[in-house]
Structure 1
Amino acid sequence: MKAISMVGFSKSGKTTACEAAISELTKRGYKVGSVKNIHKENFSLDDPTSNTGRHRAAGAYQTIARCPDDTAILLPHTLTPRELIRQFDCDYLILEGVRDVLCPVIQFAKTAEDLPAVPDPRTVAYAGVLANTGLTELNGMPVLNPLKDAGAFADFIEQHAFAPLPDVEPECCGKCGSDCPGFCADVISGKRDRDECAQYDQSITLRVGGKQLHLVPFVERILRNTLIGIVKELEGYEEGGEVTITFGGGR
């Protein structure tokens, strides 16, 4: 699953760009997911006086609001970047206002003066109201106009989006010689390739509910050594042979 995030001030064109990207990528046959980050202080998705709000106030750890056309899962906390990513099984994930997922960023602004003095090292392009000024390049990167050419915007996303980095602690991995934010910046700048991440170099494949879980080297070593320590005592075990273990849904 590849991801890209649209970030910038309110009313700078992020939502319009997300709509264009989602629509165009969907037309191309991709399965697309999206996340909208809401920065408003003390904002809640649920009205505390509603029935679901009363359920939550009574102590429900999770509440589901279900109606004929859609379903909302309400949790009493925000999700970490890793938890957020695990909710999706799609080709492309379009993020709006999300800065803590390690993926490419398109910076939105009304004017060049609104842009950060120090660019985010994950920035791959600029867009938004800024593009209506006729500007086509800034700081050596393209200025995109999804309203004018949604196709070109989707093309750019296809070329530059990549799977989010796992964002693990350096002491748990560091196999690439860097931390995840640094590696992400190196991929953006072209110094490294996304496939060099250690999560793609695993000798163990672990799937839960059909979804593959990526293991940091530290956990992979523990799991591998523990399993081999058990199965090597069994008749028929061959050193270096493939080992397959499947757990069913029973308890």
Structure 2
Amino acid sequence: MRIFAVHGITQSGKTTTIENIIKQLKKRRYSVASIKDIHYEKFAIDQEGTNTHRHRMAGSELVTARGYYETDILFPKRLSVESILRFYTQDYVVMEGVIDTNAPKIITAHGTEEIDEKLDDTVFAISGRISNELKQYKGIPVINPITDIERLVDLIEEKVYEKLPEFPKECCDVCGYNCRELGIEILKGKAKREDCMIGHENQNIKLFINNQEIPMVPFVQKILYNAVIGVVTELDGYQKGGNLMVKVGER
């Protein structure tokens, strides 16, 4: 899964940029999903007085509203981006206004002051209304989301990498960086996604719970790997270098 965010103030062209990115990614046969962060304190789908609100007030820990054309699962709390992404399996996830995650970013803006307020090393493109005036800013390409959307999505394909974990450096520094720093180095072309062994295809052991992969730092990977190998090497049929599958169910 590849994730990236689009940041910008109201009327800067943020949603138009996202709409056209999604359409172009779909045109290229990718599966696409999105996350919209709503910066309004009183926002709630579950309004006071509705049946679902009454269920929640009575103590229901998870409420589902199912209509003829959609199903809404209502969590009575704010979930982290990591928790939300566990429900996603698409090739790309585009996040509108999400700032609390480690991901490449596109800025949309009216002018350069707005860009400077949000600019950091995770920004790989600028778009929105400012693209009617500029072609680049501080070495970053400024791309029109309407007239030049193919070029913008070309850049997304080039720059946006498979999602990195979000471990602190003291937990895992095999690559020499923390997770955010590695993402920046990948965007600069000075590192590769393969430099992180967590979630990579070359990782020699993976843990799935309810079909969701659980990221493990190398230390935990080594403990689990050694525990499994230590047991199965004593069994008939074991072949060194072969693939092993262990399924555990709780009753």
TM over 0.5: yes
CA contact (8 A) 2:105 2:124 kept: yes
In structure 2, relative to structure 1, the CA distance for the partners of 1:209 and 1:54 (3 Å cut) is: same
Residue aligning to 1:122:
122
Q: What SS is found at the alignment partner of 1:171? A: coil
Task: Map 1:106-145 to 2 at 5 A.
Answer: 106-117=106-117, 119-133=119-133, 135-145=134-144
Residue aligning to 1:82:
82
In structure 2, relative to structure 1, the CA distance for the partners of 1:29 and 1:117 (3 Å cut) is: closer
TM-score by length of 2: 0.90
Q: CA deviation at 1:84?
A: 2.1
Q: Distance in 2 between matches of 1:116 and 1:149?
A: 23
- Say if 2:73 is the partner of 1:73: yes
In structure 2, relative to structure 1, the CA distance for the partners of 1:50 and 1:121 (3 Å cut) is: same
CA contact (8 A) 2:122 2:183 kept: yes
- Say if 2:207 is the partner of 1:218: no
CA contact (8 A) 1:202 1:215 kept: no
Which consecutive unaligned segments of at least 5 residues does structure 1 have?
none
Query: Percent sequence identity over matched residues?
Result: 37
Which consecutive unaligned segments of at least 5 residues does structure 2 have?
none
Residue aligning to 1:195:
194
Residue aligning to 2:9:
9
CA contact (8 A) 2:127 2:144 kept: yes
Residue aligning to 1:57:
57
Q: Distance in 2 between matches of 1:143 and 1:26?
A: 22
Residue aligning to 1:149:
148
Q: Distance in 2 between matches of 1:94 and 1:164?
A: 12
Residue aligning to 1:243:
244
- Say if 2:46 is the partner of 1:46: yes
Q: Distance in 1 between matches of 2:233 and 2:4?
A: 44
Q: What SS is found at the alignment partner of 1:110? A: coil
TM-score by length of 1: 0.90
Q: CA deviation at 1:236?
A: 4.7
Q: Distance in 2 between matches of 1:163 and 1:241?
A: 26
Q: CA deviation at 1:7?
A: 0.7
Q: What SS is found at the alignment partner of 1:76? A: coil
RMSD in angstroms over aligned alpha carbons?
2.1
AA paired with 1:215? M
CA contact (8 A) 1:2 1:91 kept: yes
Q: Distance in 2 between matches of 1:180 and 1:234?
A: 38
Q: CA deviation at 1:117?
A: 4.8
Q: What SS is found at the alignment partner of 2:170? A: helix
- Say if 2:164 is the partner of 1:165: yes
Q: What SS is found at the alignment partner of 1:89? A: coil
Q: CA deviation at 1:70?
A: 0.7
Q: How many residues align?
A: 249
CA contact (8 A) 1:146 1:153 kept: yes
CA contact (8 A) 2:107 2:118 kept: no
AA paired with 1:113? E
Q: Distance in 2 between matches of 1:244 and 1:31?
A: 28
Q: Distance in 2 between matches of 1:137 and 1:176?
A: 32
Q: Distance in 2 between matches of 1:48 and 1:111?
A: 40
